Amino acid sequence: MNNVLIFVEAENGAAKKSSLEAVVYGAKLAAQTGGQAVAVATADLAAAHAPEVGLYGADRVLHAANVAQPQAAEIAQLVAQAAEQVQAGTVVLAKSIAADLAAAQLGVKLGAAVATNVATLPDLAQGFVIGRAAYTGKALTQVNLAGPRRVLSIKKNAVGLSELPKAGALESFSPSLAANPIQVKEVQKQTGELLLTEADIVVSGGRGLKGPENWGLITKLAKTLHAATGCSKPVSDMDWRPHHEHVGQTGIKVSPNLYVAVGISGAIQHLAGVSSSKTIVVINKDPEAPFFKAADYGVVGDAFEVLPKLTEALEKAM
């Protein structure tokens, strides 16, 4: 039971960055336990992209070509069957809403201890003690996962991408999935190249932008930085921007390396969705705006003056 199984989610044929981080985590854990890091992916991962999974540390890649776009219950079934096949003591998933739901179901199926939002490798000298991000990333709780099996969902950007080249040999895998009694209807799916939850850089706008007609300032800066765009709740409530861009307690929670907030006051409900970002830059004309207290860098200024100059300077520099 020293092997580690990692579920790899894919989009447009390639593994998601968060899943590759989970592979890195799984490979490092397998090195600690003396087992193999085995990835499992569905038909959503194109065979041509499997070598990337090996590059980040997977010894083998089980490829379930008979499953595509699985929902949580299907992920739980196929991962449980793969875990039995490779005798995995630990199952690793990249944190997402579906992954956390699947993790809970996997815990029941495998009789395993479950931890979500995992931010550190385990301390095996003390049992299996991992650090979980808590209080929107402000604190780390230490948890000892007792028992022979564990299911971990890994916090985005907690591990980072580092190449640990392994064979990553593709093996055919055919799980048998029972019909899913719960069908989830997707109301709105983000399209476009950069997913907000996967992006390294996010540029968000708030009510300070005054209206949707000014959003070109945000999208131009985002394009220059190869960033995804987000917004505050009132902005999506007023339909200035689509709802899948709404960041915060009641929206998407992001943890990019860089979060740029423009014309957003920094209400506690917005901060709840962004405070685990590595670096926060705030642009606001009010020096008393609460967001400055959470910022690493701040610009007190009018967004309509600052953004064009900032974008122009970055275009020249990049």
Ligand X SMILES: Cc1cc2nc3c(=O)[nH]c(=O)nc-3n(C[C@H](O)[C@H](O)[C@H](O)COP(=O)(O)OP(=O)(O)OC[C@H]3O[C@@H](n4cnc5c(N)ncnc54)[C@H](O)[C@@H]3O)c2cc1C
Residue 263 interacting with ligand X (CB under 6 A):
yes
Nearer to ligand X, 127 or 211 (CB): 211
**Secondary structure string (H, E, C) spanning 126-168:** HCCEEEEEECCCCEEEEEECCCCCEEEEECCCCCCCCCCCCCC
Minimum CB–partner distance for residue 158 and ligand X (Å) = 22
Phi, psi of 296 (to 5 degrees): -85, -35
Nearer to ligand X, 14 or 300 (CB): 300
Residue 249 interacting with ligand X (CB under 6 A):
yes
Q: Which of 95, 19, 91 is nearest to 55 (CA)?
A: 19
Quote the Cα angle for 114-17-6, to 5°.
40
Nearer to ligand X, 141 or 250 (CB): 250
Stretch 276-295: interaction string toward ligand X, x if CB under 6 A: -------xxxx--x------
Cα separation, 251 vs 274, in Å, equals: 11
Contact between 63 and 41 under an 8 Å Cβ cutoff? The reply is: yes
Query: In this chain, which residue has its C-beta nearest to ligand X?
Result: 248
Residue 270 interacting with ligand X (CB under 6 A):
yes
Distances (CA, A) of 287 to 229, 248, 277, 295, 305: 24, 22, 22, 12, 16
Which uninterrupted H or E stretch holds 270?
helix 268-271
Nearer to ligand X, 84 or 237 (CB): 237
Binding residue for ligand X, selected from 273, 276, 277, 280, defined by CB under 6 A: 273
Binding residue for ligand X, selected from 248, 255, 277, 311, defined by CB under 6 A: 248
Which span sits near ligand X by CB under 6 A: 57-65, 103-111, 150-158, 249-257? 249-257
Minimum CB–partner distance for residue 302 and ligand X (Å) = 4
Binders of ligand X among residues 181 to 210 (CB under 6 A) are 206-208
Cα separation, 183 vs 200, in Å, equals: 31
Binding residue for ligand X, selected from 154, 303, 310, 311, defined by CB under 6 A: 303
Residue 241 interacting with ligand X (CB under 6 A):
no
Residue 269 interacting with ligand X (CB under 6 A):
yes
The site for ligand X, by CB under 6 A, has a size of 26
Minimum CB–partner distance for residue 93 and ligand X (Å) = 25
Cα separation, 256 vs 83, in Å, equals: 30
Tally of CB atoms within 10 A around 163: 11
Q: Which of 197, 226, 236, 245 is nearest to 311 (CA)?
A: 226
Binding residue for ligand X, selected from 87, 144, 250, 279, defined by CB under 6 A: 250
Cα separation, 262 vs 259, in Å, equals: 10
Binding residue for ligand X, selected from 264, 280, 282, 310, defined by CB under 6 A: 264
Distances (CA, A) of 232 to 38, 212, 261: 40, 13, 9
Nearer to ligand X, 11 or 286 (CB): 286
Using CB under 6 A, list all residues that contact ligand X. 206-208, 232-235, 248-251, 263-265, 267, 269-270, 273, 283-286, 289, 302-304
